[in-house]
Structure 1
Amino acid sequence: MNKRQSSLETTILIIELLKRIPKSWGITAQELKAQLAEIGMDRDIHTIQRHLKSLVESSHFPIDMDDRSKPYGYRWSNQAVGFTVNSMSIQESLILQMAHETLKNLLPSSLMDSMSGFFEEANRNISHAQDPAKEIQWLSKVVVAPETQPLLPPELQPEVFNQVSCALYNNCWLDITYRNAGGDVKEKTIMPLGLAQQGPRLYLVCRFKGYEDDRILALHRMISARSTSMPFEHPVNFDLKQYSDEARFTFGEGRKVKLSFRINKDAGLHILESRLSEDQTYSEHEDCYEISASVVDSRQLEWWLNGFGEDAWDISCQAVDKEAEV
């Protein structure tokens, strides 16, 4: 390898390191090594540590090193704006700012902290735009409208979410103190498997230590949580999407039924536009629609049907043969 090529590879390595150093939390040399390996830049730990040491000692990059205990952690200082190769456009800044509210409850807090520089850059781009009024106005021109009665989110301890997301991200056992719906307080060690947002509430799918069944715990009922350093193998038989598709979060047990009912035309038109399932069929009568669809049976389905009152009738739910589904 000639000197010019070696210098270029070193420069690229340093750029990749700078891009991956977060602002709000420390990252270790070993973690950076793993991230670089994922993009095909497999470097030995001593090389990465040497470059990190040079960056910390350089006056050009305000990077702090936490050397109170090993492994050392690296982060941009509070006054730093971070590092990006190119800046975001106004359109990208708008998208990121709009996504922030949704992302903050669905990503580990450590990853959200690492994104703080991007969110700050998005805010700066919009506020310093040549004609910022249009960008700012756009944020007030779009909204996600609730389908049901809106509820305020229950109070959630920030540290609880931090510890839960950390354990979930790292596949580590989680120690919790939990108050159930009946008011009983218990201490448990759980295996976190998935996080779901349902309306204003967050739920954790988990398994209690020593058990194989999946359970759902409301995060706002957790009094305390502590991520341990004990890792576990994520169960190969657990699929969060399938778990949700089986209506587990809406008091279902995954049982498929063939639903059929008649509904007043005014009340049922939206069901023709937003179907219950891919196999939904309907026939039109003088005063109503007759609708049929394969759905997962759940308490939520029952509540939804009851919400139509006298506008829906002749309701029938027939169990679907599992062999017939294949």
Structure 2
Amino acid sequence: MSELDREIMRVLPDGATQGNYLSTPEIHQRVVQDALEPVTVRTINRHLTRLATTGLVEMQERGNALEWRRKAGASGMAARAGAMMTFDEALALQTLRRFSSRQIPGLVADALSSMFGVAEARLQRPNSPNEQHYSRWASKVAVESGGFALSYPVIDRELFAVVSKALFEERKLEMVYRPRHNADNETPKVVLPLGLVEVGGLVYLIGGTEGKQEPTMYRMDRLWQAKALPEAFSYPATFSLEQYVKQQRRFDFMVEKEVLLKLKFFDSAGDHLLEAPMAMDQKDSRKGDALYVQGTVMLSQRLRWWLRSFGPNVEVLGPASLRAELVAEAARLYGMYGN
């Protein structure tokens, strides 16, 4: 993008905040006020036309005259990228946009919306047969979740922006939280935002409380109001979000203790564990048609949900307490379905 292009972009009304357009002579008049060298109306028109083909400028006809304005969001990084974005870069951006299925990437991607627009415009203008292959690539790739599809609650984008800003700036957050047992709550509380975690389609704020050692998990979709306070806080040096999630397994729900889990799988139900182990110390062997797998895991409700998903295709051999629990559960199921 040339210096003249940048100057034209500077004087154009922004489509995101202003509804008006400027005619070519009006743009010329504004540009020449600060121009170091003479610039003609014809030159301005030629540059505007080129900027429009890159998706940075939009045009309308008023009688016989052409009027222009900057496309919504076509500034900053997008404006610089528009004139020089390659097809590889455009394809990468559009792929990122299409396949970021999780909520947090989708929410933070708002900042790149103008770049996505530039990328889409670039892919719609293939200049060679090879570039036409690029433009069709996104329609040849799909991503599907391996789990049962659920419709998760939507997070308010404005509230997410407030929370993420407070988290970034390490400022206290005043919020009204409405848990399931108190859905009409109006009482605000002040938390220290320590992290955001997405688990199974739900997004949680990890918030500390002054005077309380352990942080609390808050579902973002249950946030009713949020306001970042001017007061900053010192992010605790003893807190590690990675440890909280990966080692303490706080999102496994009702974590109990480590156990040596011993399983017997039927009908190839556990074969995926040969490529995606359930534990670092996993051991496996086959006897006839059965696959035996064992490893050290954290006993939790999530583990139980996972085991139940295999139905009669898995037998828990150990620990004995978990086996007895599932035996009792199977008896209750038989009582429900036996007749």
TM category, shorter: 0.5 to 0.7
For 2:85, what is the secondary structure of its paired residue?
A: coil
How far is the alpha carbon of 1:254 from its aligned partner? 7.3
Q: 1:88 aligns with which of 77, 85, 89?
A: 85
Aligned to 1:196: 197
Deviation per residue, 1:94-146 (Å, 9 max, x gap)? 2222223539843696x745433322222222122235653343223222221
* Partner deviation per Cα, 1:224-268 (whole Å, 9 max, x = no partner): 111122211111122112222132122043733221111114211
**TM-score of the superposed pair, with normalisation by structure 1:** 0.68
Matched, 1:149 2:151: no
Shift of 1:153: 2.6
State the Cα deviation string for residues 69-114 of structure 1 (Å, max 9, x = none). xxxxxxx9856452249833222222222223539843696x7454
Q: Report Cα offsets for 1:176-203 as digits up to 9, x if no partner.
A: 1111021341421111111112232211
Compared CA separation, residues 77 and 118, structure 1 to 2 (3 A): closer
Query: For 2:106 and 2:135, how far apart are their aligned partners in 1?
Result: 28
Q: Which amino acid aligns with 1:298?
A: S
- 2:255–2:301 CA contact under 8 A, matched in 1: no
What's the CA shift for 1:213? 1.1
Residues 1:105 and 1:309: Cα distance change in structure 2 (over 3 Å): closer
8 Å CA contact 2:74–2:114 kept in 1: the answer is no
Distance across 1 between alignment mates of 2:34 and 2:161: 32
Contact 1:24 1:113 in 2 (8 A): no
Corresponding residue of 2:234: 233
Distance 1:318 1:232 in 2: 47
Structure number with bigger Rg? 2
- Paired with 1:78 and 1:278, the residues of 2 have a C-alpha distance of 47
Unaligned stretches of 5+ residues in structure 2: 4-9, 18-32, 36-43, 45-70, 322-339
Determine if the alignment matches structure 1 residue 169 to structure 2 residue 160: no
Preserved CA contact (<8 Å) 1:153 1:201: yes
Query: Residue 215 of structure 1 corresponds to which residue in structure 2?
Result: 216
Q: Please give the TM-score of this superposition, normalised by the length of structure 2.
A: 0.65
CA contact (8 A) 1:175 1:227 kept: yes
Pick which of 279-288 and 81-90 moved more: 81-90
2:257 counterpart residue number: 255
1:242-299 Cα offsets, whole Å, 9 max, x none, are 2221321220437332211111142111121221123211111112111011222221
- CA gap of 1:85–1:93, structure 2 versus 1, over 3 A, is closer
Instruction: State the distance in 2 between where 1:172 and 1:236 align.
Output: 16
Find the partner of 2:104 among 97, 106, 130: 106
- Give SS of 1:83's match: helix
Aligned length: 257
Cα pair 1:247 1:298 within 8 Å, conserved: no
Assess if the C-alpha contact under 8 Å between 2:73 and 2:113 holds in 1.
Answer: no
Identity %: 25
Question: Structure 2 residue aligned with 1:299, among 298, 301, 306?
Answer: 301
